[in-house]
Chains A and B, each alone.
Chain A
């Protein structure tokens, strides 16, 4: 299904008093795509979503859906439907009437209406709840009813405003899988707002990372994680170690960088314009690209002191300090594949002096800011 551009935002801007909630945002979303707007609260992601849905008028810019400019249209005249954060299930109607609400506005014939509502109930596996009122439903059930009520309208774009935020962790994880599956089945373009980076990474085809009303980067989850374009994106998604450095030399596919913390290291040359020799850069390394060992390994390494260990079950995260560097460095240790040095069965002890080394292909160079 994915392919051509389907939903386009052109230089959309919204201002509240002195605050630019959405600052000149342009986005292009493809047909059938699961697209997430990710950012901390107050970054403008919900405002942007509400402008696509027609609940907020942009001060400038255009919203184009399937070739039609809908900027001036009210919500009821747009080919979009929304799953609200609070779900907004009508409390005076039962589940069945909630789902049928939008079809009644279309004056759908009764037999077709019944069929479509039945299908929607089957889709969310709540046939047995058809006559229940909203206050008799659990959080997960309410979420599904909100989803069915929106999808039964067969919108061109489904807008989801943090729909899993109110659910507990287990339910949220199973709903993530369910939602992703459902999206593949119905093939409708989803625009999904979340502040949970793991949720965005695991569900989306592409993610737009937002901060202070601006889009920082739009990319697939893997790209976003492995090749963030800026310090802000790198530190918002997962844990990232950042070191300041200066380019010493550029040669072919790699860049030599002189850093205070890790000494001289070789990094893969970034796509696009490479930083010139002498320019300042940020060296970004994910914890899982860092290695700790007792014995000195071949290749560059740095002595460090273990500060603390946090155990997460499937992996541990260790904090180490490098002399002269203020911020501690995080090192991930997967329990199933322990780091060199811990393999001798003796776990690292806090305060122990260790060797920190890194995988050269795990290094990303970012512009300084």
Chain B
């Protein structure tokens, strides 16, 4: 008995050590970012030389950076909305309808997940120039739609798996047409999945460098802009400041989304107006 519990506590201590090491490995790079963004030196080295908010002030004054950030948000928003809407339609058809060649269709939609992005980027570049489309945010958005769709589809298909199709039938039976049935039954029940899909696809788009690098032309998105800035060491700290700001922003976004999701799940749905 005692031997067993001793070995059990030794085991749980090992797991604790592993867990701490794991979290440290995951988050120490992330900690470095805000740390150096407040460091009063152009050089990213220890020891730290003092506290400053200079990099944040520089960041706030950097017009080109703002344009790049704004470009990324625009592209991300359109790509997230577009891929989520397309994903919703496809997920509904694939999980509820009788679609011939369902497996093949799914495999084709998931292909962008497995093709290396650099290949995808070159292929898209060829396509865009062949059809004579100028390289712009529009071409980036199209590329992002392509890489976001598998993510949207995966999230929404999972949500549809637990969706009882007789709920939609019940709505039709009670007198609603197809569109109102979607609006009153399918949409509210799919909402958590839709929110997850929007967040995930926005992040995929926000994060993407390769596709944007090939397709953005003169209108850089943030990752492309940052990559360009790395050539100038003096501008690196303000990139760190930007990174820290994005980190805080995305953390807030995730907390907000989770809070919304819980509020929606826990509380009884609206009573009559």
Contacts and interface: CB of A to CB of B under 8 A. Distances in A.
Interface in B175-217: 175-177, 180, 184-185, 188-189
A154 B269 CA distance: 26
B189 A84 contact: no
A133 interface: yes
A149 interface: yes
Interface in A151-167: 153
Q: What bracket does the count of chain A residues touching chain B fall in?
A: 20 to 34
A205 B271 CA distance: 40
A93 B185 CA distance: 9
A75 interface: yes
B248 to A, nearest CB: 33
A56 to B, nearest CB: 11
Contacts of B270: 97
B255 interface: no
Contact of A96 (B177, B189, B272): B272
A53 B175 CA distance: 12
Interface stretch (B38-46, B55-63, B165-173, B228-236): B165-173
A149 B171 CA distance: 11
B35 to A, nearest CB: 45
Interface centre among B167, B173, B180, B188 (most CB of A within 10 A): B173
A53 B188 CA distance: 25
Is the contact region of chain B dominated by helix, strand, or loop, or is it mixed?
Answer: helix
A355 interface: no
Contacts of B189: 91-92
B11 interface: no
Is the contact region of chain A dominated by helix, strand, or loop, or is it mixed?
Answer: mixed
Interface in A222-264: none
Contacts of B271: 94, 96-97, 131
Contacts of B268: 94, 131, 133
B3 interface: no
Contacts of A84: 166, 169-170
Interface in B76-91: none
Contacts of B107: none
Given A76-B174, A105-B176, A133-B268, 10 more contacts: A54-B172, A74-B172, A75-B173, A76-B172, A76-B177, A100-B272, A101-B171, A101-B184, A150-B173, A153-B175
